[in-house]
């Protein structure tokens, strides 16, 4: 078969790998100038490695992407580091988010600390996530951890991740988030962009045609196949996979049934806004890699000092931080001028380190994506669209399809494998 894949993120690239391995002819179209999707990176002058626009890492439990790296001969690119994640309490300062850290947190009664630890343990050992999706995360966590631990640990995570939807999120999502985590975080030598480039190069060696900087304008049925129009040129294919956001699918394929389009538009989601700053010196001097700061003091969900886990020598000695948040697509940060967002966010950094001075900032970048985190209410498995669309020969794979797992490159790889199987079985 001649198969077109629209989207050069890890789901699309993995689908291309699987389909080519099965003997199919595959063409990948990526609108951006580089592969990688939401894990794509950039490089400033003087850097040896690229840095992700939206912070990424993998876990020791991420078997799919680790196996993919081995399959393409890139396993030596992977390495793991220990790191410290902490929450920043207005009243009590920073405290590590770990089982030992939580159990020794002096500002919460012992019984609540124990209940929090038991909550984490039961998530690790149980596998019946479908039962968990029948109730909200808040209700389940209050029941197991208690109200005090919920307010201290869980509520800030849910509110920061899902904003106005926090009370609707089901318990299967928090189960998956805990279940898939490991104590060590993994990364790729050269960054995720380097791994995406290695995967793309492998695909081309295997005979896959990979187009970057080639946005698709329209996808139409033609007899018993499909036509794909990109940059004024039209190519014909037997099947098409759109590995992108729902809005991209509905824009490219106007022939989709109205009922199907309405079902996609009814799926709520959050966008992401991330500022990257290159500093002259270390911001989080206690070695913390990831801060979860209180939203009442910081205008974002996460403060990550990337170079507290990955050596600054790979970035010309720059100390690199991320400030990031998940926000509704109509939030003011998506419409504000970049300089105004940066000014507002940089003004919060002295709350993380009183010694911080604006002179430390060498350069900043702002990245915005309106579709970055699906919202998962009760019984969300019933809302997930099938990989096959109502139109024969057209498949769709998006972040919505990785449920119950949270967004991440490992589950994008799994999704690419699934949609490839769907095409081959069709």
Q: Sign of the C-alpha dihedral, residues 96, 100, 103, 105?
A: negative
Which pLDDT band holds residue 256 (cuts at 50, 70, 90)? very high
Q: Which CATH class is domain 269-374?
A: alpha beta
pLDDT digits (tens, 9 = 90+) for 367-405: 999 999 999 999 999 999 999 999 999 999 999 999 999
Alpha-carbon span 294 to 302, nearest angstrom: 9
pTM equals 0.94
Any idea which fold 2-77+191-266+382-425 has? FAD/NAD(P)-binding domain (3.50.50)
Q: Enumerate the H helices of 57-188 as residue ranges.
A: 63-71, 99-103, 110-125, 129-132, 137-145, 147-149, 155-162, 171-179
pLDDT digits (tens, 9 = 90+) for 158-210: 988 999 999 999 999 999 999 988 888 999 999 999 999 999 999 999 999 99
Alpha-carbon span 246 to 171, nearest angstrom: 24
Element (DSSP H or E) covering residue 249? helix 246-252
Q: What is the mean pLDDT of residues 361-368?
A: 98
Give the 3-state secondary structure of residue 403: coil
Place of tokens 């589950």: 411
Please check whether residue 117 is in contact with residue 322, taking contact to mean a CB–CB distance below 8 angstroms: no
Asked if the domains 2-77+191-266+382-425 and 269-374 are classified in one and the same CATH topology, the answer is: no
Task: Count Cβ atoms below 10 Å from residue 163 Cβ, excluding itself.
Answer: 18
User: For the chain, which residues make up each domain, given as ranges?
Assistant: 2-77+191-266+382-425, 99-179, 269-374
- Give exposure, 55-86, as e/b (b: 16+ Cβ within 10 Å): bbbbbeebebbbebbeebebeebbeeeebbbb
- Taking the alpha carbons at both ends of the chain, their separation in whole angstroms is 11
Angle between helices 63-71 and 10-21 (to 10 degrees): 50
What pLDDT does residue 135 have?
Answer: 98
What pLDDT does residue 87 have?
Answer: 63
Which pLDDT band holds residue 212 (cuts at 50, 70, 90)? very high
pLDDT digits (tens, 9 = 90+) for 215-230: 999 999 998 899 999 9
Both tokens of 98, joined, read 């770990």
């Amino acid at each position: 078969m001649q198969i077109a894949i629209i989207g050069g993120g890890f789901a699309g690239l993995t689908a291309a790998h699987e389909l080519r391995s099965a003997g199919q002819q595959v063409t990948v179209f990526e609108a951006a100038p580089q592969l990688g999707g939401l894990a794509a990176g950039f490089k400033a002058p003087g850097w040896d490695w690229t840095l992700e626009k939206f912070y990424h890492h993998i876990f020791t439990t991420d078997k799919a992407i680790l196996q993919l790296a081995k399959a393409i001969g890139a396993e030596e690119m992977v390495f793991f580091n220990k790191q410290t994640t902490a929450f920043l309490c207005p009243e009590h300062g920073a405290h590590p988010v770990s089982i030992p850290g939580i159990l020794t947190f002096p500002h919460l009664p012992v019984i609540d600390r124990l209940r929090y630890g038991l909550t984490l343990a039961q998530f690790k050992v149980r596998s019946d996530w479908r039962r968990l999706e029948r109730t909200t995360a808040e209700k389940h966590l209050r029941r197991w951890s208690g109200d005090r631990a919920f307010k201290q640990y869980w509520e800030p995570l849910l509110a920061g991740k899902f904003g106005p939807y926090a009370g609707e999120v089901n318990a299967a999502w928090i189960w998956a988030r805990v279940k898939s985590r490991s104590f060590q975080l993994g990364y790729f030598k050269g960054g995720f962009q380097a791994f995406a480039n290695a995967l793309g190069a492998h695909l081309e060696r295997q005979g896959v045609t990979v187009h970057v900087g080639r946005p698709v304008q329209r996808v139409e049925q033609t007899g018993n196949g499909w036509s794909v129009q990109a940059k004024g040129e039209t190519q014909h294919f037997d099947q098409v996979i759109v590995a992108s956001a729902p809005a991209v699918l509905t824009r490219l394929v106007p022939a989709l049934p109205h009922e199907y389009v309405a079902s996609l538009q009814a799926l709520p989601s959050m966008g992401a806004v991330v500022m990257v700053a290159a500093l002259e010196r270390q911001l989080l001097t206690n070695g913390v890699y990831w801060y979860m700061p209180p939203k009442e003091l910081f205008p974002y969900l996460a403060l990550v000092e990337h170079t507290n886990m990955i050596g600054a020598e790979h970035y010309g000695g720059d100390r690199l931080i991320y400030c990031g948040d998940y926000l509704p697509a109509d939030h003011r940060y998506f419409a504000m001028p970049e300089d105004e967002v940066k000014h507002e966010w940089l003004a919060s950094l002295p709350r993380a380190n009183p010694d911080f001075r604006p002179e430390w900032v060498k350069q900043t970048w702002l990245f915005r994506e309106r579709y970055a985190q699906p919202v998962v209410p009760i019984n969300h498995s019933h809302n997930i669209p099938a990989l096959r669309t109502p139109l024969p020969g057209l498949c769709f794979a998006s972040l919505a399809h990785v449920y119950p797992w949270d967004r991440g490159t490992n589950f994008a790889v799994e999704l690419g494998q699934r949609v490839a199987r769907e095409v081959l079985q069709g």
